[in-house]
Homo-oligomer: A and B are copies of this chain.
Amino acid sequence: MAAGERWGPGGGRVFVFDRRLEQCDSAERALEVAGGSGYRDFRAAVCQAFGIASDGTFVITTTSRTVVSDLNFHQIVQDGVTLYLLQSVNQTLSLATRERIDFLPHYDTLVKSGMYEYYASEGQNPLPFALAELIDNSLSATAKNTEIRNIQIRLIFDESQGKPAVVVLDNGSGMTSKQLNNWAVYRLSKFTSRGTFDSDHAGYVRPAPVVRSLNSDISYFGVGGKQAVFFVGQSVRMISKPADSQDVHELLLSKEDFEKKEKNKESIYSGFIRNREPADSAHVTSDEEKFLHNLIFEEKHKKSFTAVVITGVEQAHVQYLKNYFTHWTRQLAHIYHYYIHGPKGNEHKTVKKEEGPPNNIDIEITMYEKGKVPRIVNLREMQDDMQTLYIRTAADSFEFKALVDGDGVVEGIIRYHPFLYYTETYPEDPCFPSKQKDDDDEDDDCYIVEKEARGKRPIFECFWNGRLIPYTSVNDFEWCAPPKKRALGPIECYNRISGALFTNDKFQVSTNKLTFMDLEMKLKDKDTLYTRIVNGQEQRVKIERDFALWLKQCHESFDKQIRFVGFKGIITRTDL
């Protein structure tokens, strides 16, 4: 039993070092203390154990040299504690002692894990990124689905159904009770999981390379789900059923429960999984979770599923989710663009009803409010996420590959957004208008024409295992930046390009999946090798020149009106 933990009224075991004399026994003795005994009994027991006359001069102290007495006995002499038997309280330790300690992580490890990570979010609300962690998990879980991969976020903001709740539901592999147990283990990842007798967690096998790394293998650190749920709310109910199981497994973790366990000195990281028949909601009795009955009733016809039910949702989150619905759903559509639309992204489809394997991921968001028609959005239907805008306005694209550090491969694409009939087609970010005039510009009598289209935005968005890492972007590479000397075409063409980079997990990201660690550094290493890709084939060409040629061609073929840049004549400034 752990020190200080689970100390019941039934007594416990303490460890006593006899350090009265120089030549004393080096090891401690374990003494059993009967429940309900007091200082007198304990002192007598010590005397007996060490063969001391009961009127001998000695003190019993803590390792911090607090003398044990009638007054503090019950506070001090708890299960697992280490004590000294000394001649006097201040004598030195002739021989070292070994004091047993426990240092279980505080439950804030789980409950606060997301707080000061997600928040470090550059002024944006990080809530969409917390939801993304749960979508990541659902993508991983549905990777092997043969039927459509269905991921639903349900926002239950209908008071008649209970308190506000955020539910993430998928028809993926589900979890056995052992896997559900492992879910709750902070920092247990697919790399550290040991095989168990049910071989729930066999050794991890890296997925084979696929185009744009859309491998659905987005789990990495063993923290995402926990960080996310406790960022969103105070309590989570994980409900899951694997395909070949009769039983549904359910685990409830809550801040309140952790607090209670700490107060009662119970084991912090122990709990119960409820195993039950599908559709059995007998255990749900509180009106605050009324909606659970329906959710659980749906289990009836499901082969396998996982539902993450978050309650205790902060009011500010509820407000944000309601008021910025379009904004954050667009952000999610952006993050998962290539999962939703396939490796080519959201191209204009000529045949609209084209069916087929690439589009088998449905990510659906539904918001329920009392007295209102539920608001539903399927991320695939969103047509104004940034990647869609980039793809739709592109006239041509330039694909390439970067070979980094021996075995890291980055796929890349650059798109050309032509100038058409008086205006640039480079899409504006609807949320962060970056072309917005600088305050300076008004008075500025020098107007930097060539910066106009892209503005100050970096060229590349970066995707890791197919999903966007939102806070990392790459400005440019040497070969696609405006050349220092003379360009083949007009310089402003360099500001009509957008791009995307695709890596697998050979490149590392931070635990909150908001930033890459060193993607840019590695890409800009002088040994990094860039190759152009045409129709899937590597070209043996000089990328810098080939890119310049491509850009010139784009300009000549697609720019529909050439703008006069405004040659102002040469101004000779006299030295100051």
- Spell out A's residues near B (CB within 8 Å): 1-2, 62-66, 72, 75-76, 90-94, 96-110, 112, 116-117, 119-120, 123, 176-178, 181-182, 184-189, 192, 197-198, 200, 221-222, 245-247, 249, 251, 267, 269-277, 280, 282-283, 422, 439-440, 442-448, 481-482, 484, 508-511, 514-515, 517-518, 520-521, 563-564, 566, 568, 570-571, 573, 576
Would you list the 7 A-B pairs with minimal beta carbon distance, nearest first? Answer: A446-B446, A96-B276, A103-B184, A105-B186, A106-B187, A120-B510, A75-B197
User: DSSP class of A's interface residues: helix, strand, loop or mixed?
Assistant: loop
Evaluate contact between A246 and B187: CB separation under 8 angstroms: no
Contacts A446-B448, A576-B563 given: A197-B96 contact, CB under 8 Å?
no
Evaluate contact between B103 and A176: CB separation under 8 angstroms: no
A117 contacts which of B75, B482, B511 (Cβ < 8 Å)? B511
Which B residues touch A564, using CB under 8 A?
576
Given pairs A101-B251, A446-B446, 11 additional interface contacts (CB within 8 A)? A2-B270, A63-B176, A64-B245, A91-B246, A101-B271, A103-B185, A106-B189, A117-B511, A119-B510, A120-B510, A123-B521
Contacts A97-B275, A108-B192, A271-B101 given: A65-B511 contact, CB under 8 Å?
no
Evaluate contact between B96 and A274: CB separation under 8 angstroms: yes
Closest to A1 in B: B1
Evaluate contact between A277 and B92: CB separation under 8 angstroms: yes
Q: How far is the CB of A248 from chain B (nearest CB, A)?
A: 9
A271 contacts which of B72, B91, B103 (Cβ < 8 Å)? B103
In whole angstroms, what is the CA distance A246 to B108 when docked?
34
Contacts A96-B275, A568-B571 given: A510-B187 contact, CB under 8 Å?
no
In whole angstroms, what is the CA distance A72 to B245 when docked?
20
In whole angstroms, what is the CA distance A245 to B188 when docked?
40
Which B residues touch A521, using CB under 8 A?
123
Q: How far is the CB of A160 from chain B (nearest CB, A)?
A: 27
Evaluate contact between A518 and B123: CB separation under 8 angstroms: yes
In whole angstroms, what is the CA distance A246 to B509 when docked?
47
Which B residues touch A177, using CB under 8 A?
63-64, 99, 101
Evaluate contact between A192 and B106: CB separation under 8 angstroms: yes
Q: Which of A103, A274, A280, A508 has the most CB of B within 10 A?
A: A103
Evaluate contact between A571 and B517: CB separation under 8 angstroms: no
Evaluate contact between A197 and B62: CB separation under 8 angstroms: yes
Which B residues touch A103, using CB under 8 A?
181-182, 184-186, 269-271
What are 18 A-B interface contacts by the 8 Å CB criterion?
A2-B270, A63-B177, A64-B198, A90-B246, A97-B274, A98-B273, A101-B184, A101-B270, A103-B185, A105-B110, A105-B269, A106-B185, A116-B510, A445-B568, A445-B570, A564-B576, A566-B573, A568-B571
